[in-house]
Chains A and B, each alone.
Chain A
Amino acid sequence: MESKLKPASEERDAPIAELRDASKHYGAVVAAEGLNLAIRRGEFLSFLGPSGCGKTTALRMLAGFESPTSGDILLDGQRVNDVPPHQRPVNMVFQHYALFPHLTVAQNIAYGLRQRRPRPPEDEISRAVERALETVRLPGFGPRRIWEMSGGQQQRVALARAIVNQPKLLLLDEPMAALDKKLRRDMQIELQTLQRQLGITFILVTHDQEEALSMSDRICIMRSGRIVQVGSPRELYDRPASRYVADFVGKSNFFPGTVTAVSAGRTELAAAGGHVIAGLAPVGIAAGQRASASLRPEQIALTRKPAGHALPVTVVNRIFLGEHTEYLVRNGDLGEFLVLVSRQAEASEGGFEPGDQAFASWSEGAALILEDD
């Protein structure tokens, strides 16, 4: 896409795009508040959060469909707050694709190139279109009409229409929402491969944590118009900054209680029934405050005999997941929680049936003590 902006910096490390304290208000409604984010060149970044969390607003500010009420949007170091969408070197794949129904597949893909001034010669355009169709694995589909294409094919056309312009950012607005589950999985892998191959910075908006976890280099978790935490999928999973993030990324058990002791490597929480759970805590947790201990189901072991510091539990339910079995167990003090047992562990301990008595244990200090929000 033609840009009226000159790149301020060709430096590899300079962020390709930035949100600087960007807020968007609609009257009294706050869609986004004080967003700060530097998007790295060539990364696959996802905005993750429930609907209404401001992720789409963030994307639309990058595309130019919304301008921030306050703060700045930067593309390649240049402030673009007032640059209209048609002058931004950024392309978007829309949620329902927004393909032009009166144009053929090839004409749709060529649309962006045809807007350039000076307009590239026709043979150059048709070669670029053919290449883009091959990239999305739809060679020869150029003359088709849009309504002759299936949902999955339409999505590839939308993708081709965006990447043919070699944008600085490719914005994807819940692109998988309209696809069925199987197709979605295939498309996720394909998108990821494509991103590596093209080296274009991809920014995905999604409410599907699995999708964000499996595809992204980094995830930006949002809630009520604010950024809650930014990090790699692993960082977010292992070191969530709050209960909200731990709950949103993967499954976790939460045991509410009061913080009793805080020291460098170890924070203690007194949960229901006087059970003390120890673990790491993010900075800012103070003794005496209410918090929750978070334990991932796979961090908890289930045994027939008490192994050191173990909680007596009753098995309530069992879900077979193939490689793992998920048990819902109940403790008199702490209530119900989930335990994920691997096939291997189950082989040594034997399977549990609902109603069985067992013991749940975890390695000392494995929990995360997180602020409730």
Chain B
Amino acid sequence: MRLYALAVYLFLYIPIGVIALFSFNAGRHAAQFQGFSTQWYGKALSNPFVMDALQTSLTVALASALLATLFGTMAALALQSVRGRVRMAFDALIYIAVMVPGIVIGIATLIALVTLFGWLNPLIEALWPLAGKAPQLSLGYGSLIAAHGLFTMALVIIIVRARMAGMDRSLIEASADLGATPWGTFRQVTLPQIFPGILAGFLLAFTFSFDDFIIAFFVAGSQTTLPVYVFSSIRRGVTPEINAIGTMVLAVSLVMLIAAQAILQRGRKAA
């Protein structure tokens, strides 16, 4: 059984290890290691296309994670006072949002947005009061942020709610008993108590958006995120430069995930 588990882990992690290893390859062939070098990292970081894609990815990840955290936290708080069937329906929808394959979300979002733009754009053009050409809605930053934000919001809701479930309800009563108004209680007790969950939710949302290829592939429009760039350049063959980018994305994601985990663990101790 252990051997079997080991085999599974090796199958999963060896390819990742190989990518990380070959990103430090001195030679330009992906198949044989010709000595240690960091030249591909330099190349990747000085490639304007890579830097452009990185900037897009970071902007989208940051914006969507912020939105997801804000609305996800608000939703988690509101769901506390929802009971019965409505609550069950919301719970189901939230878990579905996490479990639906990315490709479905990608295609569905694309169709929805294109249809919406198809209705709205003529309307805007007809109502545009100024001279000159009316602005047109199109795929790009906005659609990327919206699609990622919606998807990662479900993650934030789940994490924040788990944190709230672990919180002692009597703390809120104690705060009210000591004279704090409902808003005062939220600010001084609830928020500090669930903050580790909010922060961890933000980091996870950021990571999911930063890593995402499938949804971005459908809704990015003229924009290119880092994973989309990697995908398109792979068609010209795997270069050590791609390995270097992959390794960097992996490093960023790992750091974020570890940070999120550490925050949740520490928060649990303090609760």
Least distance between B266 CB and chain A CB atoms (Å)? 12
With both beta carbons as reference points, the residue of chain B lying nearest to A115 in the complex is identified as: B179
CB neighbours (8 Å) of B188 from chain A are 111
Q: Using a CB-CB cutoff of 8 Å, which residues 40-97 of chain A contact chain B?
A: 63-65, 84-87, 90-92, 94-96
Contact B176 A84 (CB under 8 A): yes
Complex CA distance for A94 and B174, rounded to whole angstroms: 8
Contact B170 A98 (CB under 8 A): yes
Contact A92 B181 (CB under 8 A): no
Choose from B175, B177, B180, B270 the contact partner of A63 (Cβ within 8 Å): B177
Residue A6 at the B interface, CB < 8 A?
no
Contact B170 A85 (CB under 8 A): no
Binary interface encoding of chain B residues 157-177 relative to chain A, with 1 for a CB under 8 A from any of its CBs, else 0 = 000000000001011011111
Complex CA distance for A292 and B175, rounded to whole angstroms: 49
Contact B179 A112 (CB under 8 A): yes
With both beta carbons as reference points, the residue of chain A lying nearest to B193 in the complex is identified as: A102
Q: Which of A101, A116, A147 has the most CB of B within 10 A?
A: A101
CB neighbours (8 Å) of A165 from chain B are 178-179
With both beta carbons as reference points, the residue of chain A lying nearest to B167 in the complex is identified as: A101
CB neighbours (8 Å) of A116 from chain B are 179
Contact B270 A115 (CB under 8 A): no
Complex CA distance for A272 and B115, rounded to whole angstroms: 91
Q: Using a CB-CB cutoff of 8 Å, which residues 19-71 of chain B contact chain A?
A: none
With both beta carbons as reference points, the residue of chain B lying nearest to A92 in the complex is identified as: B177
With both beta carbons as reference points, the residue of chain B lying nearest to A116 in the complex is identified as: B179
Residue A168 at the B interface, CB < 8 A?
no
Complex CA distance for A63 and B178, rounded to whole angstroms: 10
Contact B180 A86 (CB under 8 A): yes
CB neighbours (8 Å) of B184 from chain A are 86, 115
CB neighbours (8 Å) of A86 from chain B are 176-182, 184-185
Asked whether A102 and B192 contact (CB < 8 A) given A85-B173, A94-B170, A96-B170, the answer is yes
Least distance between A182 CB and chain B CB atoms (Å)? 26
Q: State which size class the interface on B falls in.
A: 20 to 34
Complex CA distance for A101 and B166, rounded to whole angstroms: 13
A interface size (C-beta, 8 A): 27
Least distance between A3 CB and chain B CB atoms (Å)? 9
CB neighbours (8 Å) of A100 from chain B are 171, 174-175, 189
Complex CA distance for A85 and B170, rounded to whole angstroms: 13
Least distance between A201 CB and chain B CB atoms (Å)? 16
Residue B100 at the A interface, CB < 8 A?
no
Residue B1 at the A interface, CB < 8 A?
no
Contact A98 B179 (CB under 8 A): no
CB neighbours (8 Å) of A95 from chain B are 170
Choose from A1, A94, A101 the contact partner of B179 (Cβ within 8 Å): A1
Complex CA distance for A116 and B180, rounded to whole angstroms: 8
Residue B271 at the A interface, CB < 8 A?
yes
Least distance between A102 CB and chain B CB atoms (Å)? 5
CB neighbours (8 Å) of B174 from chain A are 92, 94, 98-100
With both beta carbons as reference points, the residue of chain B lying nearest to A85 in the complex is identified as: B176
With both beta carbons as reference points, the residue of chain A lying nearest to B174 in the complex is identified as: A98
Complex CA distance for A86 and B182, rounded to whole angstroms: 8
Contact A111 B173 (CB under 8 A): no
Complex CA distance for A27 and B262, rounded to whole angstroms: 44
Complex CA distance for A2 and B181, rounded to whole angstroms: 12
Residue A161 at the B interface, CB < 8 A?
yes
Contact A96 B168 (CB under 8 A): yes
CB neighbours (8 Å) of A63 from chain B are 177
Contact B178 A112 (CB under 8 A): yes
Least distance between A92 CB and chain B CB atoms (Å)? 5
Complex CA distance for A84 and B178, rounded to whole angstroms: 11
With both beta carbons as reference points, the residue of chain B lying nearest to A3 in the complex is identified as: B179
CB neighbours (8 Å) of A161 from chain B are 178
With both beta carbons as reference points, the residue of chain A lying nearest to B168 in the complex is identified as: A98
Complex CA distance for A115 and B184, rounded to whole angstroms: 8
Contact B271 A101 (CB under 8 A): yes
Complex CA distance for A91 and B180, rounded to whole angstroms: 12
Q: Using a CB-CB cutoff of 8 Å, which residues 136-153 of chain A contact chain B?
A: 147
Complex CA distance for A2 and B180, rounded to whole angstroms: 10
Least distance between B216 CB and chain A CB atoms (Å)? 38
What are 10 A-B residue pairs whose CB atoms fall within 8 Å in the complex? A63-B177, A65-B176, A85-B173, A85-B177, A86-B177, A86-B180, A91-B178, A92-B173, A165-B178, A165-B179
Q: Across the A-B interface, give the 3 residue pairs with the lowest CB-CB distance, nearest first.
A: A115-B179, A112-B178, A98-B174
Query: B-contacting residues of A (Cβ < 8 Å)?
Result: 1-2, 63-65, 84-87, 90-92, 94-96, 98-102, 111-112, 115-116, 147, 161, 165
**Given contact pairs A98-B171, A100-B189, A116-B179, a sample of 12 additional A-B residue pairs in the complex whose CB atoms are under 8 Å apart:** A86-B182, A86-B184, A92-B177, A99-B174, A100-B171, A101-B270, A111-B175, A111-B180, A115-B178, A115-B181, A147-B270, A161-B178
